[in-house]
Amino acid sequence: MSTGILSSHSAEVRTVIAGRTKRMRRRRLVVSLLVIGVVAVFLVTLMVGQTFYGPLEVIRVVFGQTVPGASFTVGDLRLPRASLGMLSGFAFGIAGVAFQTMLRNPLASPDVIGISSGASAAAVFGIVVLSLDGAAVSLLALGGALVTAGVIFLLSHRGGFAGTRLILIGIGVAAMLESVISYVLSRAAAWDLQTAMRWLTGSLNGAEWSSVLPLAVAAAVLTPLMLSHGRSLGALRLGDDSAIGLGVRVRRTRLFVIVAAVALLAIATSAAGPIAFVAFMAGPIAARLVGAGGSPLLPAGLVGALLVMLSDLVGQFAFDGRYPVGVITGVLGAPYLVFLLIRMSRSGGSL
Amino acid sequence: MRLTWILLLLVAIIAICAASVAFGVRSVSPGDILAALGGDTSTVARAAVVARIPRTVLALLVGAALAMSGATMQAVTRNPLADPGILGVSSGAALAVVVGIAFFGMSSPYAFMVVAIGGAAVAAIFVYLIGSLGGGASPLKLALAGAAISAAFASLVSAILLPRVDIVESFRFWQIGGVGGATWDRIAVIAPVLVAGAVICLVMARGMNSLALGDELATGLGVNVLRSRLISSAGAVILCGAATAIAGPIGFVGLVVPHVCRMLMGTDHRWLLPFSALGGAALLVAGDVVGRLVARPSEIDVGIVTALIGAPVFIWMVRRQKVREL
């Protein structure tokens, strides 16, 4: 009798273990493929342009050797641009999926609920009205995004936290901030479309080390911290009560995730503008690639980096004119949104 | 009581319209205003006043259309947060016009209007379908679908306009709405269409009252729910599309005005719709005057003013709702 229970138990346990190993293996495979993809696209971005440089030359430049001709084009022009694309995509991806997981809605990415607009509005104000540049703009954008997130969070906190209310209030705040951005831009001394596009849809044009550096530091500090909270964040997806039952400190986790995600997002936005829909698309794509189980944070970051770099390549070279990267991701976002919504209706709303 | 409110509002509209003609970026003396109203355009000041008249008329028409369209959309979706801007219907109209200009060389106001109404209809159907996937359209799903769709459409608009140097000047117009470019010719094109849309909505007002009871009860009372919903939506889409074709996307008028009117007039749509139209007209003209005055010597487009007024109202409304109703 007892042996019967034991053996049936162990059979179930074995199935669970087998499933887990299978998912882990798949996850590891997908993550390594994504890493390889990111590195490969990064190198391609460095290689192509007005003049083509071979992979060896590019790698030598990246490692600091002086190569006649290539050092300037690759090292000074293409390297900051590629780094900015990779880092901002990574930051958007992680921040987006953190919000989507926390609010339990794939549509509730920070660019739809107004937090990116907060960073843009502050940055535009800093550049146009206060004539700031560099690190000051990054700081201001960070402040703007944090304040916006705080305001949205407080306004939606009425007798307890409610994700739905937060999302709707975010949409309202976004609409208001968008009009502030439009107004400030219309007051800019010269109506420079290039600058405008950067703050309306995001662009990698004119990338400089001074804007890449804060982003790199932020990503290096905040990514490990976010990843260490991945498990608690996953538990939040079950709802507050279940998460508390599992021993998650719900309020602390939520506060930490919001602050970290907003900081990443704001610094990325201040460097590259609110690259449209990357934060929105990266999470669901990553969740689909990796499958169930495990935290979607890291894969989403990698998918985001790939999305931005590939879209920038497309925007630069696929058409007659040159498009800023945000326009390409925005156009990609439209059909993807439809696909996501149709799939959501079938699976009942999860990522 | 209702008549008193309507009379008060009419008086307010007349006062606001007078202000709209009298005040602007350029300060004009009372004598010049009177002379200009008599048809005299001999000086710059008088010409400026004459130019303000079509602008005021356009703001009246567009405001009325948007507010009535918003009230109708709220009735059809039974969703207090419905608004042509929030649901992405205006951005659908804007995208359609931009496609028409860029790829088909459209230039006549008639073509703009037809295309804009088509675009608005497509966007409305689309957002409603997406929002009602997976068991009924909740305000949250509709608003999210609308926000996401407008963001996607805005990207498409930039993608189409950016490389076209010849039309890029109109770029800003299709991002922020305004009534600065009003002419009598364009108003003449749009006015009959707006009247038609308004008549459709007003005729359906009784049906909208039944829709408010819920589909089952309305069916039980002998109302053809699907038909009322389709015809009312058509009216709302015509109003919003035509207004967007001439003034660009202007948000929140359709949200704020019907909501305030409902507090004053109650929920009977036979009263609510015309009252909302009056309120929308008053709000848009007033917003336009404010936009002209606060930023002298330049102007703030009325679309920005309405967003700054409307978004806080939207947030306040969301806070009032109970969570399970969202």
What would the pLDDT profile of B175-197 be if each residue is shown by its tens digit? 777 787 778 888 888 899 999 99
| Structural contact between residues B266 and B272, judged by C-beta atoms closer than 8 angstroms | yes
- The dihedral region occupied by B266, where left means phi > 0, alpha psi between -120 and 50, and beta the remainder, is left
Q: Which of B86, B90, B185 is nearest to B145 (CA)?
A: B86
CA distance A134 to A132: 7
Q: Reply yes or no: is the peptide bond before residue B297 cis, omega within 30 of 0.
A: yes
Closest CB to B315 among A111, A172, A334: A172
CA distance B229 to B243: 21
CA distances A272 to A134, A265, A269, B107, Å, are 12, 10, 5, 36
How is residue A277 written in tokens?
Answer: 């829909």
The amino acid present at B315, given as its one-letter code, is I
Q: Tell me, what's the ipTM?
A: 0.79
pLDDT at A344: 65
CB contact under 8 A, B143 and A178: no
Stated length of chain B: 326
A334: chain B residues, CB-CB within 8 Å: 149, 152-153, 155-156
All residues of chain B having their beta carbon less than 8 Å from the beta carbon of residue A346 are 134
Q: Which residue has the higher pLDDT, B179 or B242?
A: B242
Lookup: tokens for A24: 């882990």
Distance from CA of A112 to the nearest CA of B (A): 7
Dihedral sign, Cα of residue B124, residue B129, residue B130, residue B135: positive
Chain B residue whose CA is closest to A328: B159
Contact B315, A177 (CB under 8 A): no
Q: Test A330 with B152 for CB contact under 8 angstroms.
A: yes
pLDDT at A38: 93
In whole angstroms, give the CA distance from residue A83 to residue A277. 19
Instruction: Name the residue among A168, A183, A349 with its Cβ closest to that of B326.
Output: A168
Of the candidates B320, B83, B70, the residue with the CA atom closest to the CA atom of residue B208: B70
Q: Give the mutation candidate from A116, A183, A198 for the B interface (greatest B CB count, under 10 A).
A: A183
Q: Is the dihedral of CA B62, B65, B68, B69 positive or negative?
A: negative
Residues of A with Cβ-Cβ distance to B148 under 8 angstroms: 107, 112, 280, 337
Identify the residue among B79, B95, B304, B309 best suited for mutation to test binding to A, counting A beta carbons within 10 A and taking the highest: B304
Please tell me the distance in Å from A250's CA to the nearest CA on chain B.
Answer: 19
How far apart CA A237 and CA B131 sit, in angstroms, is: 22
Alpha-carbon distance B142 to B140, whole Å?
6
Looking at residue A1, its pLDDT comes to 44
Chain A residue whose CA is closest to B307: A176
pLDDT, tens only, B261-300 = 888 888 888 888 999 999 999 999 999 988 888 877 777 8
> In the structure, what pLDDT confidence band is assigned to residue B324 with cuts at 50, 70 and 90?
low
Instruction: Give the model confidence (pLDDT) of B139-161 as tens digits.
Output: 777 777 888 788 788 878 877 87
For residue B139, which residues of chain A lie inside 8 Å, CB to CB?
168
pLDDT digit string, tens, across residues B28-45: 777 777 777 777 777 777
Task: Among A179, A277, A328, pick the best mutation site for testing chain B contact (most B Cβ within 10 A).
Answer: A179
Min Cα–Cα distance to chain B from A330, Å: 5
Contact A183 B252 (CB under 8 A): no
The token pair at A250 is: 């719900």
Give residue A277's region: left, alpha or beta (phi > 0; psi -120 to 50).
left
Q: Token digits for B212?
A: 């408010």
AA identity, residue A279: A
Residue written as token pair 């109708």: B72
CA–CA min distance A235, chain B (Å)? 22
Mutate which: A205, A327, A332, A346, vs B, most B CBs within 10 A: A327
Identify the CA nearest to B252 among candidates B174, B313, B195. Answer: B313
Among B246, B227, B204, B195, CA closest to B71: B204
Residue percentage of chain B with pLDDT more than 70: 93
Is B156 in Cβ contact with A331 (below 8 Å)? Answer: yes
Coil vs helix vs strand at A349: coil
- Alpha-carbon distance of B307 to B289, in angstroms, equals 15
**Nearest residue on chain A to B324, alpha-carbon basis:** A164
CB hemisphere CA count around B21 (13 angstroms)? 20
Q: Compute, in degrees rounded to 10, the torsion defined by CA atoms B198, B200, B205, B211.
A: -120
CB B21 within 8 A of CB B49: yes
- Give the residue from chain B lying closest to A169, CA to CA: B315
Give the 3-state secondary structure of B234-280: HHHHHHHHHHHHHHCCCCCHHHHHHHHHHHHHCCCHHHHHHHHHHHH
pLDDT < 70 stretches in chain A: 1-9, 134, 159-161, 188-199, 293, 341, 344-351
The span from the CA of A269 to the CA of A164, in Å, is 25
How far is Cα B252 from Cα B250, in angstroms, rounded to an integer? Answer: 7
Residue of chain B minimizing CA distance to A332: B152
